[in-house]
Amino acid sequence: MQFRHEWKHEINYQDRLILQTRLSAVMQTDPHAINGEYKIRSLYFDSPGDKALLEKTDGVNMREKFRIRLYNGDTSFIVLEKKSKINGLCAKESCHLSAEEAGRIAGGDFSFLASDDRPLCVELYAKMNSQGLRPKTIVDYTRIPFFFAPGNVRVTIDYDIRTGMFRTDFLDFDTLTLPAGDPIIILEVKWDDFLPEIIKDAVTLPGRRSTAFSKYQQCRIYG
């Protein structure tokens, strides 16, 4: 499991325009993006006592959270992910799910995972039993992604963050989602062992500080 460095900054619309111009000049865009961006839908899991939410709020040093994710409403590519954070470094494990599997899990039927041979599915099944993990809320947003091979750098700009509140019907694209508070734009910078100076310079904005912003945490304010 590869742990990576991560910066997050809350920015405004003018910052976003400046960054898009800068980053387009030095980084590659995601070939899967449509007009330079794509829609992301995630379904987050938590325990009855909101373990993942409270650990994030309290800044627990070692924590994890599970989610199911798809892009641009494409049900042919759905992933189960576990994101871990230790000593400020982040790692992500993932495996593919079929639309049927994702729908069953979102609907509360996870018994089929007991005989699965994918380690991450087995781990989710175990923690759904031991910790009571269950689907908690949908999180929707739009992402503008950039890549830079040296340092394996990924820079993303996320906006239009929306919450499903108590809704977990992950594959129902008619389900209502609402803005998660005032409009927020988040710049994220992730890299492996080093961050090239050309990228560091490109993402540096005066007066912007690192933040521990969490889309899941923000969306849980509403349900």
Per-residue pLDDT, 211: 82
Structure confidence by residue, pLDDT tens digits, 39-64: 999 999 999 999 999 999 898 989 99
Residue 13 CA, chain-centre distance (Å), reads: 21
Structure confidence by residue, pLDDT tens digits, 95-129: 999 999 999 999 999 999 999 999 999 999 999 99
- Percent pLDDT > 90 in the chain is 85
- Please name the residues in contact with 58: beta carbons below 8 A apart, sequence gap of 6 or more: none
Residue 25, pLDDT > 80, answer yes
Q: Name the pLDDT band for 2 (thresholds 50, 70, 90).
A: confident
- Structural domain span for residue 39: 5-220
Round to whole Å and give the CA distance between 213 and 203: 17
Prediction pTM value? 0.94
The CATH code of the domain that includes 111 is 3.20.100.30
Candidates 180, 217, 184; CA nearest to 67 is: 217
Burial of 124 (0-12, 13-18, 19+ CB in 10 A): buried
**Domain tally for the chain?**
1
Token pair for residue 6?
A: 């991560």
Per-residue pLDDT, 116: 95
Strand extents, DSSP E, 149-222: 153-163, 178-179, 185-191
> How confident is the model over 178-192, as a mean pLDDT?
94
CA dihedral (50, 51, 52, 57) positive or negative: positive
What end-to-end distance do the CA atoms of the chain give, in Å? 32
